[in-house]
C-alpha cells in the first residue's frame, strides 16, 4: 500500500466522502437535483458527461496499444482471459442480479451493465501490488479496451433483452435497444480511447517513451480520480432523495457485487493454477477477470437510462465495493503465492 499515492491509497475514503458530499448538496441546495438533471441532451447529462470523459481519458492514455502483438506467444493466457472476461463474468453477474434482485429491475439492469464492462487500466495498480506479470496485465487491458468497442453493445442487448426472454424470466416489459448501448459506448469509450491512443502515439514520437511514462502520465493520472469523484458527487446530488428514502437499496446492490468479485477471483485463480501458468500470470488472470470497468458502466447507465435512474445508482455503487474488495484480494493473492507455489518461484 505504501507504493500507492495518497489519492489511490485512500480511494474508498474519497469515494465515501464524495457520496456524502453529493447527498449533502442535494439536500441543502433547493432545486439542485432538477437543475443538474435539466442540463442534458436526450438522456446524457452534460456535467456528468464532462466528468466521465475526464475519468476515462487518463486511464486509456496508459494502455500500451503497440504491444498487442506480443500476446501471440501467450495463447493459453489470452484464451483463458477472454473466456473468463466475456463468457463467465457476464453470465455470473446476470445470475447474481436475478438471484439477489428479482423484484428490482432497475438495479438488476445496472448490475448486469457493470458485469459486462470488463477491466481496464485501474487493474494495473492491483497487478503491481500483487507482484503479478505487469506486461501481461497491460496487454490484457489493451485487448479488453478494444474488444469492448465491438462486443459491449451486442452483449448488453443479449443479456438485457434476449436472454431473459429465452429463460422465461419476467423482465416487466423492459427492453433496451442495441443502438442506444452502442451509441453510448462509442461516445464514452470510443472518444477517450481514440484520444488516449493518439496522445500516446504523438507523445512518444515527440518526447520519447521515458518522458511519456515518467513525466506525462503521472501528471494526468490524478484527473481520472478527480473525474470519478466529480461524477459521484453529481450522481448522489441527483439521486439524494431516492438514497435517503431507501438506504437499504444500496445494501441490496452491494451484496451481489461482493459475491461477484469474490467468485470471479476464486474461479480465475484456480483456473490459472490448474493451467500451470505460474503465479505471476495466474495473479494477472485472476485480477483482470475480477476487475470491472466501472467508468464505462456508469457512463452507459447514465447515457441510456438517465442520471436519476436506478441503473445509474447501481453503477455508482460499483467502485464503492470494488476498490476495497480488490485491495483485499491483492493480499489474498500474495497469501496464495506463499502457500501454493514453490520457494524458487516465490523468490523470483
**From CA 178, how far away is CA 170, in angstroms rounded?**
20
Looking at the structure of the chain, the number of domains it has is 1
Looking at the domain assignment, is residue 348 inside a domain?
Answer: no
Is residue 69 within 8 Å of 316, Cβ to Cβ?
no
Flag whether 347 is in a domain.
no
pLDDT in tens, the chain (348 residues): 555 566 666 776 887 788 788 888 877 877 776 777 677 766 566 787 788 788 778 877 877 776 655 555 578 888 999 999 999 999 999 999 999 998 888 899 999 999 998 876 567 667 877 888 877 887 787 778 778 877 888 888 889 888 988 888 866 544 566 676 677 777 777 788 888 889 999 999 999 999 999 999 989 888 877 887 887 788 777 766 666 777 788 889 999 999 999 999 999 999 999 999 999 999 999 999 998 887 778 778 877 787 778 888 888 788 778 878 888 898 899 999 999 986 545 444
Domain residues for the domain of 194 are 6-340
| The three grid cell numbers given for residue 267, joined into one nine-digit string | 474461479
Q: Is residue 177 part of a domain?
A: yes
**Residue 346 domain-assigned?**
no
**DSSP letters along 177-221, please?**
-HHHHHHHHIIIIIHHHHHHHHHHHHHHHHH-HHHIIIIIHHHHT
**Residues 64, 68, 74, 76: is their CA dihedral positive or negative?**
positive
Burial 283-322 (b: 16+ CB within 10 A, else e): bbbbbbbbbbbbbbbbbbbbbbbbbbbbbbbbbbbbbbbb
* Cβ atoms of residues 112 and 93 within 8 Å: yes
What is the C-alpha R_g of the chain?
A: 20
CA 69 from centre of chain: 24
Answer whether residue 68 is part of any domain. yes
Q: What is the pTM of this model?
A: 0.78
In a domain, 345, yes or no: no
Assess if residue 280 is contained within a domain: yes
Residue 79 near residue 97, CB atoms below 8 Å: no
Residue 333 counted as domain residue: yes
Q: What is the pLDDT of residue 30?
A: 75
Domain containing 167 — which CATH number?
1.20.1530.20
What distance in Å separates the CA atoms of residue 311 and residue 279, rounded to the nearest whole number? 37
Amino acid at each position: 500500500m505504501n507504493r500507492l499515492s495518497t489519492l489511490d491509497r485512500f480511494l474508498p475514503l474519497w469515494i465515501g466522502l464524495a457520496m456524502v458530499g453529493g447527498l449533502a448538496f442535494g439536500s441543502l441546495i433547493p432545486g439542485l437535483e432538477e437543475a443538474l438533471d435539466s442540463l442534458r441532451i436526450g438522456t446524457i447529462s452534460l456535467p456528468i458527461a464532462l466528468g466521465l470523459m475526464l475519468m476515462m481519458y487518463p486511464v486509456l492514455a496508459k494502455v500500451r496499444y503497440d504491444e498487442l502483438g506480443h500476446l501471440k506467444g501467450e495463447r493459453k493466457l489470452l484464451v483463458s482471459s477472454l473466456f473468463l472476461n466475456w463468457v463467465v463474468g457476464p453470465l455470473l453477474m446476470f445470475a447474481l442480479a436475478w438471484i439477489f434482485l428479482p423484484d428490482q429491475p432497475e438495479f438488476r439492469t445496472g448490475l448486469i451493465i457493470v458485469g459486462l464492462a470488463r477491466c481496464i487500466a485501474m487493474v494495473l495498480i492491483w497487478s503491481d501490488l500483487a507482484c503479478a506479470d505487469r506486461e501481461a496485465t497491460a496487454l490484457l487491458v489493451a485487448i479488453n479496451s478494444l474488444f469492448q468497442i465491438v462486443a459491449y453493445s451486442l452483449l448488453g442487448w443479449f443479456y438485457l433483452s434476449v436472454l431473459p426472454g429465452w429463460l422465461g424470466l419476467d423482465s416487466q416489459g423492459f427492453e433496451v435497444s442495441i443502438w442506444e448501448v452502442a451509441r453510448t459506448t462509442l461516445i464514452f469509450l470510443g472518444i477517450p480511447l481514440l484520444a488516449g491512443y493518439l496522445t500516446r502515439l504523438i507523445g512518444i514520437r515527440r518526447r520519447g517513451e521515458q518522458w511519456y511514462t515518467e513525466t506525462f502520465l503521472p501528471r494526468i493520472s490524478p484527473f481520472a480520480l478527480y473525474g470519478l469523484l466529480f461524477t459521484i458527487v453529481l450522481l448522489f446530488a441527483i439521486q439524494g432523495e431516492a438514497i435517503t428514502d431507501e438506504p437499504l437499496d444500496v445494501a441490496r446492490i452491494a451484496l451481489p457485487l461482493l459475491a461477484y468479485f469474490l467468485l470471479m477471483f476464486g474461479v480465475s485463480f484456480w483456473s490459472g493454477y490448474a493451467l500451470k501458468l505460474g503465479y505471476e500470470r495466474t495473479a494477472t488472470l485472476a485480477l483482470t477477470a475480477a476487475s470491472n470497468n466501472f467508468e464505462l458502466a456508469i457512463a452507459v447507465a447514465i447515457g441510456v437510462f438517465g442520471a436519476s435512474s436506478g441503473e445509474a445508482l447501481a453503477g455508482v455503487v460499483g467502485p464503492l465495493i470494488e476498490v476495497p474488495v480488490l485491495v483485499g484480494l491483492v493480499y489474498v493473492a500474495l497469501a496464495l503465492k506463499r502457500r501454493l507455489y514453490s520457494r524458487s518461484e516465490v523468490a523470483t
